[in-house]
Amino acid sequence: MAARRKATTQISRLAHRASGTAAANRMVPEETPVAFSYAGTTHAVMMASPADFEDFALGFSLTEGIVADPAEIEAIEVEDLGAGIDIQIRLRDKANTRFQARRRRLAGPVGCGLCGIESIEEAMRSVDEVGTSKLTLDAEDVTRSVRLLSKVQPLHSETGAVHAAGFYVPGEGIVIAREDVGRHNALDKLAGALAKAGINGASGAVVVTSRVSVEMVQKTAAIGASVIIAVSAPTALAIRTAEAAGMTLVALVRGDDFDVFTHPDRVVCGVTKHVA
């Protein structure tokens, strides 16, 4: 297991204000390379906050389709190499065979790794449909989820420089949240934490502090959640992907205001005149 690393560092800087300029201290978040290695071979390296490594490894494995169930992972070993973190993930027989076949398919004829049309197809992989979910939210659920997420972001409160992903269950609030310098990383860590806790993704909504890209929709679908709620805007591809997956995409949550881009039937609120 890796030694515990500091999540933040205090630095000095010149703070310029209207009243003048002065030397002052500020807390900033740490980030470090985190390598995911399967069967002794590095598959991906992410720049991430140095925390929640096992959640990260499990969540990444699930949301990237490397495993379909946590039981397909035999062991996760975290090693601190100084320059970064190496996470060795041992897959059970069937999962390992499937992963090795996937690596061969993606390697390409010149051994260049993820390249060309096959990597494009991988990036644009189809997502699981979540349309059968019975979850419904009201307008207060949407705005409350974002307010509650803001209260469980200690790293952001200290630095103002990291993202968060939380899981909101109506009547319970944010049941699990994770933070990271990377928005995808925060969502992967949340996915891993939910899987470890045995929480069904269909029971609530994913709430994120970032914009919604297609990867965020793909990872939310892998969690099994039928609703994603975001503080910032979605991309056009994310909207199309959420629509096809039967997912409700709510974004631009600012105070009591928000926009529902896909499958609005899960959000119960009054509909009034058209707003540009």
Quote the tokens at residue 219.
Answer: 């990872």
The tokens describing 26, both together, are: 């500020």
CA distances from 121 to 98, 108, 115, 220 (A): 17, 13, 10, 19
Q: Which of 143, 137, 139, 138 lies closest to 254 in space, CA to CA?
A: 143
Tokens representing 14? 């010149």
The residue annotated as part of the active site, out of 39, 112, 124, 268, is 112
Lookup result for tokens 């609030």: 173
Active site residue 112: yes
Identify the CA nearest to 214 among candidates 190, 187, 239: 239
Ramachandran quadrant class, 235 (left: phi over 0; alpha: psi -120 to 50; beta: rest): beta
Beta pairing partners, 167: 176, 206
* Residue indicated by tokens 């409700």: 248
- Give the Cα separation of 123 and 125 in Å (integer): 6
Q: Is the dihedral of CA 118, 86, 39, 41 positive or negative?
A: positive
Show which residues are catalytic.
112
